[in-house]
Amino acid sequence: MSCMTHHPRGLLNRFAGCALLVLLLVCCSAHAQNTDLLHSIIDRLSQHSAVRASFTQQRQSPALTQAQSSSGQLLFVTGHGMLWQVKQPYQQTLALTGSRTMRIDADGHMQPVRSERGINQISQMLQGMLTGQLDAVTRQFDVQADGSAAQWSLHFTPRQSRMAQVLRGIQLDGGNYLQRIRIIMQDGTQTDIQMTDTHDAGPLSALEKHALDVP
């Protein structure tokens, strides 16, 4: 009865979720794909259930005169989400759990950044995928793999016209670990995330467990 509409916003606010989703999928799904390379990439990535890395995000937008850069640490936990801890040029910690985005202040106090329900649906899709359904991603994207298992690239092109109106494509590069994510929007905005010093996470702190809802 409520929102019987064909608005595209539903799609758009899920977009951030989708990018995260692709990342999560690739990082953790151990399930077969049609190409051997994709299979072995996923196989390789899924050996790590929790990883830490340093990241640098570069963004070029037609609205901005210069490229924007931010860097910090990330913690990725399969099936739970990611802590995105920016150190430069400002300090901010975000918990991206698929179901919502929370801001965590210096005292560990969590505050919702957005109160929308939208990404909750992504979370459902996500849970489905993490239990072995690559379909969710292949329904939204055409996936192409190049390179070797030691140094590979995955290209994601949106299949849905509504998403293709905003997103041109996503590219992931990596070896043992995911090394780079590139997101190109139709308006020309490019986001390039480089990950270095990636390693298995080891034990999580109480705050990390709390933020990502890890038991």
Partner 1 sequence: MTQRNLWLRAVGFMLATLLLAVACAWLLFGRGRSPVQTDLLAMLPATERNPLAEVAAQRLAHANGNRVILLAANKDDEQAKAAARELGQLLAKDKVFASVTAELPPFDLQQLFAPYLQHRFSLLTEADRQALAQPGYDPRQALAQHINEPFVTGVGTRLQDDPFGWLQHWLEQQPWSRSPLLPEDNLLTAHRDDGSYVLVTATLSGSAYDDGIQRRALAVLDQAEHSIEHDHPGTRVLRTGALFYAATARGDAERDVHRVGLISTLGIALLLLLVFRSPRPLLLAFLSTAIGIVAATTVSVLVFGQIYLLTLVFGAALLGEAVDYSIQYLTARANAGSNWNPGQGLRQVRPALLLALGTSLLGYALLGLVPFPALRQMACFAMVGMVVACLSVFFLLPALLQTPAKPLTHVSVRGALVLQSAISRCVAGRRGILLGAMSLLLALPGWLQMHHDDDVHLLISPPSTLVAQEKQIRDVTGLGNSTQFYLVQGANEEQVLQREEALEQRLQAMTDAGQLQGWVGLAGMVPSLQRQQANQALIAPLFAQAGRTHQWLHEAGFRDADIDRLLQAWPGTPLHLQAWLKTPAATPFRYLWMGDEASGGAASLVLPQGDASNTALQQAAANLPGVTLVDKAAGVSQLFGRYRRYASLWLLAAVLLIVPVFGWRYGWRSMPSVLAPPVLGIGFTLAVLGYLHHALTLFHWMALMLVLGVGANYAVFLREGEPHVTHRPGAMYASVLLSAATALLSFGLLAFSSMPALQDFGLTLLLGIGFTALLVPASTASRISLS
Residues lying near partner 1 in the complex (CB under 8 A): 1-16, 19-20, 57, 59, 61, 63-66, 68-70, 84, 86, 89-90, 92, 94, 96, 111-118, 121, 125, 128, 135-136, 139-140, 159-162, 165-166, 181, 183, 185, 187, 189, 191, 193
Please state the closest distance from residue 115 (CB atom) to partner 1, in A: 6
Smaller CB distance to partner 1: residue 40 or 73?
73
Nearest-approach distance from CB 212 to partner 1, in angstroms: 15
Torsion of CA 52, 58, 61, 66, to 10 degrees: 150
- Give the DSSP letter of residue 205: P
**Closer residue to partner 1 (CB): 4 or 206:** 4
| Per-residue exposure over 141-154, b if at least 16 CB sit within 10 Å of its own CB, e if not | bebebeeeeeebbb
214: left (phi over 0), alpha (psi -120 to 50) or beta: beta
Q: How far is the CB of 78 from partner 1 (least distance, A)?
A: 18
Output 79 or 118, the one with its CB closest to partner 1: 118
**Minimum distance from CB of 122 to partner 1 (Å)?**
9
Smallest gap from Cβ 26 to partner 1, in A, equals: 14
Identify which of residues 40 and 70 has a Cβ nearer to partner 1 in the complex: 70
Among 19, 149, 29, smallest CA distance to 79 is for 29
Amino acid at 167: L
Q: Output the six-digit token pair for 120.
A: 């909750």
Rounded to whole angstroms, how far apart are CA atoms 77 and 49?
Answer: 6
Of the two residues 1 and 206, which places its CB atom closer to partner 1 in the complex?
Answer: 1
Looking at the Cβ atoms of 153 and 190, the one nearer to partner 1 is 190
Q: At its nearest, how many Å lie between partner 1 and the CB of residue 49?
A: 21
Strands of 178-185's sheet, edge to edge?
A: 110-112, 101-104, 92-96, 81-88, 68-77, 50-60, 190-200, 178-185, 167-174, 152-158, 141-147
